Amino acid sequence: MLSKVLSGFLADFAEPLVIPSIQPNDFRPQEEKATPASPAPATAQNHPDRSAEIAELQAELASLREQTARAERNAFAQGEQHGRGQAKAEIQPVMDRMNASIQEVLDMRPQLRRAAEQDLVRLALAIARRILHRELHVDPAALSGLVRFAFDRIGRAEKYHIRVHPNMAEAVEQSVPRRHDASIQVEADPACALGTLIIRTGGGTIDASVENQLDEISKGLTDRMS
């Protein structure tokens, strides 16, 4: 509480302050309000122990998980086995056809080899025929070796009649070996092919022509391959 000292003429207007008397009984404590009781803490008696039930549930969950995993493994194994069986069933006809084709090729291998050998012989003879014919066109004396070979094979005779192409007549006449007391006649026949060499004696006729020699070579090779 604030107070102020008055002086001068203001002091005349001041009034006394009367403080009423206070008795001890005038102070009575107020009644305390009753506060509601707080709830009692939870005790084991209020909430019973359920750890056994929880453990049992956990065991059942673990067992269920194990059963699920086992079922998944079994299903995967069965599916894999079924897939393998189905794939094998689908691919088996293809494998059978492939094995049959391989066996067929193996069985045909001797035939293919013989056919290839025959083709090779024919090719070689065709090349030889072309080379010989070209050589005969260029050098008529190329037939001289065949003449000497033919006369070595035939026996002695009193008379020899040789028929050749006109371009070969002179070269053949010069290549014929001279034998005493033998008569040799070379006939130039335009009807003969180039490389023709036919020798006729009293004992028979020998065809020593180039084409005939190539045919004999072809037959010999064919018989040998067979």
Least confident of 73-87, 131-145, 150-164, 194-208: 131-145
- Flag whether pLDDT at 44 surpasses 80: no
Residue 137, pLDDT score: 74
The confidence score (pLDDT) of residue 220 equals: 79
Q: Which residue has the higher pLDDT, 127 or 41?
A: 127
CATH class of 140-225: alpha beta
Q: Which residues are within 8 A (CB) of 14 and not within 5 positions of it... i.e. 6 or more apart?
A: 6
The pLDDT, as a whole number, for residue 26 is 55
Domain boundaries, the chain: 140-225
d(CA 167, CA 140): 7
The predicted-structure confidence for 151-186, as pLDDT tens digits, reads as follows 877 777 778 888 988 888 888 888 887 765 568 888
Angle, vertex CA 141, rays to CA 218 and CA 161, nearest 5: 75
pLDDT of residue 12: 60
